[in-house]
A and B are shown apart, each in its own frame.
Chain A
Amino acid sequence: MTLSALNADVIVDQLNAGEVTATDCVQHFLDRIQVHNAELNAFIRVSESALEQAQAIDQRRKAGESLGCLAGLPIAIKDGICVSGQPTTAGSKMLENFSPPYDATIVERLKSADAIIIGKTNMDEFAMGSSTENSFFGPTNNPWATNRVPGGSSGGSAACVAARLAPVAIGSDTGGSIRQPASFCGITGLKPTYGRVSRYGLIAFASSLDQIGPMTRTAKESALLMSVIAGFDPRDSTSSKEQVSDFLTGLETPLAGLRIGVCRDHLNEGLDVEVKTKINDAISVFKQLGANIEEIELPQTKSAIAAYYIIAPCEASSNLARYDGVRYTFRAQANDLEEMYRNTRGQGFGDEVKQRIMLGTYALSSGYYEAYYLKASKVRRMIKQDYDEAFKKVDLILGPTTPTPAFKLGQHTRDPLAMYLADIYTVSANLAGIPAISVPVEPSSTGLPIGLQLQGRAFEENTLLRAAHQFQNETLWHTASPSEPWRTQS
């Protein structure tokens, strides 16, 4: 079996056993990127020093040094996460040449584990979007159908893993930006509990919603990455001190007795017929695995998108005020300071980003705080309470990740509202702060991936991963790969 067909945990085992060198491993993926990235545009930048780092790992291993638990594993990182000494662009012209003088905390942890960062992946600009069409560096194509979007904003990471240009990737999720692209690209994407993974070094979009998470083929690989990146960080005030247990143990524990809630409303209106069918099929699988399926209600779902599209733009409008041409960004020509601000931000930001800044600025402006941000934050409390209530009855909530499979490039760009509404199943988890995972179910009849979402109680990623893992033991949808030329040899 070629390397790219193997899961990360198997690759790591082989590296540890000396069956393959880090150099060969990295070279293998660099070759694939070389061949396939042009058509996919999954990577904004491929690391120039990856091979060198791999060689260093091999030498250290030879010298008998003890190495980190991911030693030699190539990993792709969404370009909204700071990696020092090379450009971190957030998919924007504004930061096209920004080279951070520091590593994000999760990058530090991955480097400590001796993982090898193979490149930075494409994304919607400043994480604002659901299709990766809003990138300054051009859209990413869905490896399953190159005329379709990979989802967003972590579209590059999703495409990269689906096309096996790297075994695993890191993304970020504010309203669904890990889970939705995972769903569109047929991979597994986890948004951890808010505060579970440090945001230090993640270029902020909406501070109270953003989380970094793993994007992999399987839940087991997701658990492997979580065991490295999760945990309290004193540099992030919103980081949780909640104990981090080993995410890998307990994956095999059977699901007998697990209570899974299904929200009837989510499987009715607006849902693509095929999605509905495949999700229902998946529910049967969980029943077979011993889980009890119950009906639950999440009445505030109807207000979730509105609350999200107030809170996120408000926070974003403030978070993006620092991009003013003074200290580290692109700077436009101007005669005086005010002109410099306005031209820099007019030219440096794309349309969607500007639109959301305008929306957020309006909603926070004099006299509107109570009507918008405060009101939305109260609705947010209600949404959280919905989940608290539901989790008294069930341990997990199951439903579709997205209403439809991947849409075509250009399909929604004229109608932002339509795009926003497609976030209906994912935004609530961000608003409530709970963890959620998307795993592939049977694809559509035209071969497009479909994702199933599981949501869990705060800090109970273990339960999510366990259920996802058992599901993946039982089904094979996560092993499917896009047709040639990306198909990997088994």
Chain B
Amino acid sequence: MPETPEQPTVNQVAKLARIHLDEQQLTSSGEKLKQILEFVSQLEQAELPKDIEPFFGAIESVNAIREDNLQTSVPREKILDNAPESDGEFYLVPPVFRNTDS
């Protein structure tokens, strides 16, 4: 596991990922994380040619571009149909308790 001065803790990662874990889960998750990270860190040993380009998967053939044409949007009631909470116009979410102006 690469050691850097700012190595995030399990707690911090859970916060970043917006997942609530209780004490027990944090411990268990932390252990599993450590185990897996140790395993994948074997890649550090992998000897790669200096100029090797990463491969991100997509067949890099032609630009995938579409014309600026209008398509019919999904009607509002249909798109809000799955919303856990809505007033028929907007999605409703609990308030953010922050002092921001934007």
Beyond A327-B91, A371-B2, is A358–B42 a contact (Cβ under 8 Å)?
A: no
Beyond A99-B81, A328-B82, A358-B14, is A208–B56 a contact (Cβ under 8 Å)?
A: yes
Q: Mark A342-384, 1 if CB is under 8 A from B, else 0.
A: 1101110100001101110110011110011011111111101
Name the A residues within 8 Å of B8 (CB-CB): 362, 365
Q: How large is the interface on B (under 10, 10 to 19, 20 to 34, 35 or more residues)?
A: 35 or more
User: Does B58 lie within 8 Å of A309, measured CB to CB?
Assistant: no
Q: Any chain B CB within 8 A of the CB of A126?
A: no
Q: Any chain B CB within 8 A of the CB of A470?
A: no
- Shortest distance from the beta carbon of B61 to any chain A beta carbon, whole Å: 7
Name the B residues within 8 Å of A238 (CB-CB): 57-59, 64
User: Does A381 lie within 8 Å of B59, measured CB to CB?
Assistant: no
Name the B residues within 8 Å of A381 (CB-CB): 52-55
User: Does A325 lie within 8 Å of B44, measured CB to CB?
Assistant: no
Q: Mark A219-244, 1 if CB is under 8 A from B, else 0.
A: 00000000000000010011111100
Q: Any chain B CB within 8 A of the CB of A317?
A: yes
* Contact residues, A433-490 vs B (CB, 8 A): 433, 458
Other-chain residue from B19, B41, B96 in contact with A357 (beta carbon distance below 8 A): B19
- Closest B residue, CB atoms, query A348: B19
Q: Any chain B CB within 8 A of the CB of A189?
A: no
User: Does A361 lie within 8 Å of B84, measured CB to CB?
Assistant: no
Beyond A331-B85, A376-B43, A381-B52, is A240–B59 a contact (Cβ under 8 Å)?
A: yes
User: Does B64 lie within 8 Å of A327, measured CB to CB?
Assistant: no
User: Does A362 lie within 8 Å of B52, measured CB to CB?
Assistant: no
Name the A residues within 8 Å of B29 (CB-CB): 354-355, 358
Q: How many residues of A contact B (CB 8 A)?
A: 76
User: Does B46 lie within 8 Å of A303, measured CB to CB?
Assistant: yes
Q: How far is the CA of A194 from the CA of B54 in the complex (A)?
A: 17
Q: How far is the CA of A379 from the CA of B39 in the complex (A)?
A: 15
- Shortest distance from the beta carbon of A404 to any chain B beta carbon, whole Å: 20
User: Does A377 lie within 8 Å of B55, measured CB to CB?
Assistant: yes
Q: Any chain A CB within 8 A of the CB of B35?
A: yes
Q: Any chain B CB within 8 A of the CB of A10?
A: no
* Contact residues, B1-53 vs A (CB, 8 A): 2, 4, 6, 8, 10, 13-14, 16-21, 29, 32-33, 35-37, 39-44, 46, 48, 52-53
Which A residues fall within an 8 A CB radius of B? Answer: 97-99, 101-102, 193-195, 207-209, 234, 237-242, 303, 306-307, 309-310, 317, 321, 324-331, 334-343, 345-347, 349, 354-355, 357-359, 361-362, 365-368, 371-372, 374-382, 384, 416-417, 420, 431, 433, 458
A101-B74, A101-B81 known; 9 new pairs, CB 8 Å cut-off, are A208-B56, A238-B57, A303-B46, A306-B43, A317-B17, A342-B19, A354-B29, A368-B2, A377-B56
